[in-house]
Amino acid sequence: MKNETSNYKLVLGLEIHLHINTEKKMFCGCSAHIHDAAPNTHTCPVCLGLPGALPVPNYDAVKKTQLLGLATNCTLNQNSKFDRKHYFYPDLSKGYQISQYEEPLCENGYIELSNGEKALIARIHLEEDTAKSVHENGETLLDFNMAGMPLVEIVTEPCFTDVKDAVEFSKKIQDLVKHIGIGDVNMEKGQMRLEANISLRTPEMERNDDLPNYKVEVKNINSFRFMEKAVLYEIERQSELLLNGEKVIQENRGWDDHKGVTKSQRSKEEAHDYRYFPEPDIPPMAFDEAHIEELRSILPELPDEIRKRLIMQYEISENNAEYLSVYPGLALLEKFEEICTHNIEPNKVANLLLNKQDYKELTVDEFVKRYEDEAQKVDDAGELSQHVEKVLAENPDAVEKIKSGKEAVYKFLIGMVMRETKGKADAETVENLLREKLR
């Protein structure tokens, strides 16, 4: 992107939606295992939004959302409730979504980024997903399998000034969700969706910490790469408008990857009123300290904690610690720690586990045996080398002859080394060693 003319600074906040892996949907008894299921096979009066159907919250989803809150340094609200968020859309048959407005489950958290800064989380709340519209041959079909799936929404502060940080944050959230085992967050399956709220401000506004009076929401982004492209595109589009003295319209836009542009979806000029009010069919929730402490006790050691501990305890490199502490490396962590009890230098263990495919696949016992065998070979090679040196030192005449071109004398020297090692050495290895030393 070429933007020499523009000094505008990016103001970026994220909304991340993700599915929680529960057995049942959010407010009904329908199975939540909807992937690969035929359309509309996981439905009931509640998730179809039929009048009079009573929602009952899924406690497992509540607990897992709270675990995510703890893992992201949030405060868990002791009082929380569900609210109705009203809007009209074909995939929302009730005319409202059960979500949380005031009193979300979790508030005021953060995730530490690699640049040492904290990405601030305003809130994490729980809601239900909507149905899916399928556009086919000029018709729109609705699949209600997705309707009522437990959906967590993470809302950050508009704290990102670089899209790279926002991407890192999103990836960390994805890893964290897998790490604590509350979701699969597969973006291709729609289990994690990104939304970027993008606006620009002048350097002076940035200095004064003033926020712009508009934001453009790019909705339903299903890959980290698309998010980066969409934000960069918006920086360019909005800069141009602002430079021309025009106003940036507050609206929803979508990323069109084929054209490489964002497109307007619906204007938000007339401030959208969702007419939130407390969901009358679900009693408010209350959580005591004991509940929160119990959740804290079942939370696994988190990636940042693991990374810091590995560096302290094993003195391994930052890089190795980083790999072992995040989701894809996590399966190796246990193996790593067990192998380290066998008195092998931890950095060597980490290097072999992380860089050598053949070592990665071994069991702990196999790893240790293989490592010791390799070390033995190195020892043997060292010992053999000493025997060769000794034979060369004791037979200066033979060395002279070889140097003057009498190749046949090698046989004599090999024989002498074999005698030294009592026949245990490999003749070919001995010959190679001799030739190396006489080169």
Q: Measured between alpha carbons, how far is 410 from 414 in angstroms, rounded to an integer?
A: 6
- Asked if 433 and 392 count as a contact pair (C-beta separation under 8 A), the reply is no
Nearest approach, Cβ of residue 220 and Mn ion (Å):
11
Strand ordering across the sheet containing 96-99? 96-99, 83-86, 277-278
153 or 168, CB closer to Mn ion?
A: 153
11 or 47, CB closer to Zn ion?
A: 47
Q: Give the interface segment with Zn ion, choosing from 2-10, 38-46, 233-241, 416-424 (CB under 5 A).
A: 38-46
77 or 238, CB closer to Mn ion?
A: 77
Contacts of Mn ion in 12-41 (CB under 5 A) = none
- Written as one letter, the residue type at 412 is F
Nearest approach, Cβ of residue 129 and Mn ion (Å):
9
Q: What is the DSSP letter of 90?
A: T
Nearest approach, Cβ of residue 112 and Mn ion (Å):
25
The entry of Zn ion, Mn ion, none near residue 47 (CB within 5 to 8 angstroms by kind) is Zn ion
3-state DSSP: the chain helix, strand, coil percent, rounded to 5?
40, 20, 35
Q: Give the interface segment with Zn ion, choosing from 47-55, 174-182, 259-267, 320-328 (CB under 5 A).
A: 47-55
The entry of Zn ion, Mn ion, none near residue 143 (CB within 5 to 8 angstroms by kind) is none
Q: Give the interface segment with Zn ion, choosing from 43-51, 199-207, 218-226, 266-274 (CB under 5 A).
A: 43-51
- Residue 134: closest CA among 142, 145, 146: 142
Q: Which two tokens stand for residue 190?
A: 């729609």
Nearest approach, Cβ of residue 187 and Zn ion (Å):
25
Nearest approach, Cβ of residue 61 and Zn ion (Å):
14
Q: Which of 83, 128, 153, 217: binder of Mn ion (CB under 5 A)?
A: 153
Nearest approach, Cβ of residue 151 and Mn ion (Å):
7
17 or 360, CB closer to Mn ion?
A: 17
107 or 153, CB closer to Mn ion?
A: 153
47 or 200, CB closer to Zn ion?
A: 47
- Asked if 105 and 66 count as a contact pair (C-beta separation under 8 A), the reply is yes
CA of 71: how far to CAs of 152, 240, 296, in Å? 14, 40, 9
Q: Give the interface segment with Zn ion, choosing from 7-15, 20-28, 66-74, 221-229 (CB under 5 A).
A: 20-28
Q: Give the interface segment with Mn ion, choosing from 150-158, 234-242, 250-258, 366-374 (CB under 5 A).
A: 150-158
Q: Measured between alpha carbons, how far is 167 from 178 in angstroms, rounded to an integer?
A: 17
Nearest approach, Cβ of residue 45 and Zn ion (Å):
7
Size of the site for Zn ion (CB under 5 A): 5
Q: Which of 47, 159, 176, 182: binder of Zn ion (CB under 5 A)?
A: 47
CA of 168: how far to CAs of 14, 114, 115, 300, in Å? 12, 8, 10, 22
Q: Which two tokens stand for residue 17?
A: 């939606």
- Residue 109: closest CA among 173, 52, 29: 173
In DSSP notation, 192-204 reads: EEEEEEEEEE-HH
Q: Which of 30, 106, 177, 416: binder of Zn ion (CB under 5 A)?
A: 30
Give me the helix-helix angle, 409-420 and 427-437, nearest 10°: 120
- Asked if 97 and 128 count as a contact pair (C-beta separation under 8 A), the reply is yes
The entry of Zn ion, Mn ion, none near residue 44 (CB within 5 to 8 angstroms by kind) is Zn ion
62 or 316, CB closer to Zn ion?
A: 62
Size of the site for Mn ion (CB under 5 A): 1
The entry of Mn ion, Zn ion, none near residue 153 (CB within 5 to 8 angstroms by kind) is Mn ion
Q: Measured between alpha carbons, how far is 439 from 397 in angstroms, rounded to an integer?
A: 16
Nearest approach, Cβ of residue 252 and Mn ion (Å):
13
- Asked if 302 and 97 count as a contact pair (C-beta separation under 8 A), the reply is no
Q: Which two tokens stand for residue 247?
A: 């106003």
Q: Is 28 in the site for Zn ion (CB under 5 A)?
A: yes
Question: Which helix H or strand E contains 151, and what residues bound it?
Answer: strand 150-156
153 or 234, CB closer to Mn ion?
A: 153
Nearest approach, Cβ of residue 56 and Zn ion (Å):
11
Beta strand pairing call for 251-256 and 216-221: parallel
Nearest approach, Cβ of residue 353 and Zn ion (Å):
45
45: how many CB neighbours lie within 10 A of its CB?
12
- Asked if 367 and 335 count as a contact pair (C-beta separation under 8 A), the reply is yes
Q: Give the interface segment with Mn ion, choosing from 148-156, 185-193, 250-258, 369-377 (CB under 5 A).
A: 148-156
By the criterion CB under 5 A, which residues form the site for Zn ion?
A: 28, 30, 44, 46-47
Positions touching Mn ion (CB under 5 A) are 153
